[in-house]
Amino acid sequence: MKRVLRRLAWAAFVIWATVSAAFLVNNALPSDPARMVAGQQAPPAAVAKIRKDLGLDRPLRVQYVLFLRRLVHLGPSSFAKNDPAHANCANVGPLHVDLGRSYQQRRPVVTILGERAPRTLLLALSAAIVQALIGVTAGIFAAVKKQKTGDRVAVGLSLLGVSAPTFLIGLLLQWLFAFKLRLFPIDGFGDTTAEHAASLVLPAVTLGIFGAAYYTRIVRDEMIGELSHDYVRTARAKGLGPVAVIVRHALRNALMPIVTIFGLEVGTLVGGAIITESVFRWPGIGSLSVDAMLDRDGPLIMGCVVVTSSVVVLSTLAVDLAYAVLDPRVRRT
């Protein structure tokens, strides 16, 4: 229990440190947010007023403290949408999260993130399924055919997959399946559920292929290790079919490290999502953060950093804790 609390505290610290570093970097950007909010044609007096309203005339330390205080604070459990004190808040009970307003979109950052996050989650989950399906199948295949042609082909393809940049795979799929064969939409999100589903296929496969390539090698190495154990020989000697031996015995034992790496690869998945979403103009957090950075939209950049770093840190934490639950040997240290 003490260990769990310590890990939680550490996770909170890492998120805080990341967000603070991002705040510093973000404020080093030579842009004038007040001018952006006011518009290019606004008179200097209006710009000055907005600068004062946004607190941009205060020293950086004060802005930082205000930012943190706003980020997570306590407030009423229910409040009117037009309540000026909580206009930019999202809340869980009395716990409020406020990331300010986007300079470009002129809406609360939490609202924008709330719209975008489920789409990225959908994309990431679909990609994870693609990744697991291809990776585990190809990995087992390569392990069974160890040192034969089938293994060489699978390993070679996986190395090719690891070497191809995500945007290259995306462009290739776009060209083949959307431009030439016209099977799927070339990009975007669509308006109906059916369109969403059709638009999801290519980005999900794109994002999944990189992981699948990486995964194939892990599964292969783990399975080769397991298949060389005595219990596999015993199972075979009992007269068990090859499928039962592989799936029920060897795969089961290889699963633990495979699942661990799955959890630790969430960071890579997030990075890949940024690129995939940009290629396919998928309106999730990834494309949002690129747009926010190119637009120098400070509050929106900070919002994206808070979300992505939290996801990465929390998934690492989840793997750590799951490991402790599953494997008693880890718990004691």
Partner 1 sequence: MRPAALIASARSMVGRLAQTAFGREAGGARLRASGSARAGLVLVGLLIAFAVLGPLVAPNDPYTSDFARGVTPEHLPVGPSRDFWLGTDRLFRDVFARLATGARISLVIGVGATAIATVVGSVVGVLAGWYEGRWVDTLLMRVVDVGLAFPFLLIVMALGAALERTTASTIFLTLGFTGWLGVARIVRSKTLQVRSLDYVLAARALGQSTPRVLLRHVLPNVSGPVVVIATILVAQMILAESVLSYLGAGIAPPAPTWGHMLFEGQDYLGAAPWITIAPGVAILLSVLGFNLLGEGLRDALDPRKT
Residues that bind partner 1 (CB under 8 A): 10, 14-15, 17-18, 21-22, 25-26, 28-31, 159-160, 162-168, 171-172, 174-175, 179, 267, 274-275, 278, 289-290, 293-294, 296, 301, 304-305, 308-309, 312-313
In whole angstroms, the minimum distance from the beta carbon of 300 to partner 1 comes to: 12
In whole angstroms, the minimum distance from the beta carbon of 10 to partner 1 comes to: 8
Whether 286 and 276 have beta carbons less than 8 Å apart is answered as yes
Amino acid at position 329, single letter: R
Whether 139 and 218 have beta carbons less than 8 Å apart is answered as yes
**The two three-digit tokens of residue 140, written as one number:** 């087992």
In whole angstroms, the minimum distance from the beta carbon of 114 to partner 1 comes to: 20
In whole angstroms, the minimum distance from the beta carbon of 203 to partner 1 comes to: 15
Closest to partner 1 by CB, 126 vs 166, is: 166
Which string of DSSP letters, residue by residue, matches 43-88?
-HHHHHHHHHHTTTTS-HHHHHHHHHHHHEEE--SS--TT-GGGTT
Contacts of 151 (CB under 8 A, 6+ apart): 141, 142, 143, 145, 220
In whole angstroms, the minimum distance from the beta carbon of 117 to partner 1 comes to: 16
Closest to partner 1 by CB, 10 vs 231, is: 10
With b for 16 or more beta-carbon neighbours within 10 A and e for fewer, the 73-97 pattern comes to eebeeeeeeeeeebebbbbeeeebb
In whole angstroms, the minimum distance from the beta carbon of 174 to partner 1 comes to: 8
Closest to partner 1 by CB, 36 vs 240, is: 36
Closest to partner 1 by CB, 86 vs 220, is: 220
Closest to partner 1 by CB, 86 vs 226, is: 226
**CA–CA distance, 143 with 16 (Å, rounded to integer):** 43
Closest to partner 1 by CB, 75 vs 267, is: 267
3-state SS string over 217-283? HHHHHHHHHHHCCHHHHHHHHCCCCHHHHHHHHHHHHHHHHHHHHHHHCHHHHHHHHHHHHHHCCCC
In whole angstroms, the minimum distance from the beta carbon of 331 to partner 1 comes to: 19
In whole angstroms, the minimum distance from the beta carbon of 238 to partner 1 comes to: 30
Contacts of 174 (CB under 8 A, 6+ apart): 186, 187, 202, 279, 280
Closest to partner 1 by CB, 97 vs 304, is: 304
Closest to partner 1 by CB, 140 vs 304, is: 304
**CA–CA distance, 62 with 168 (Å, rounded to integer):** 44
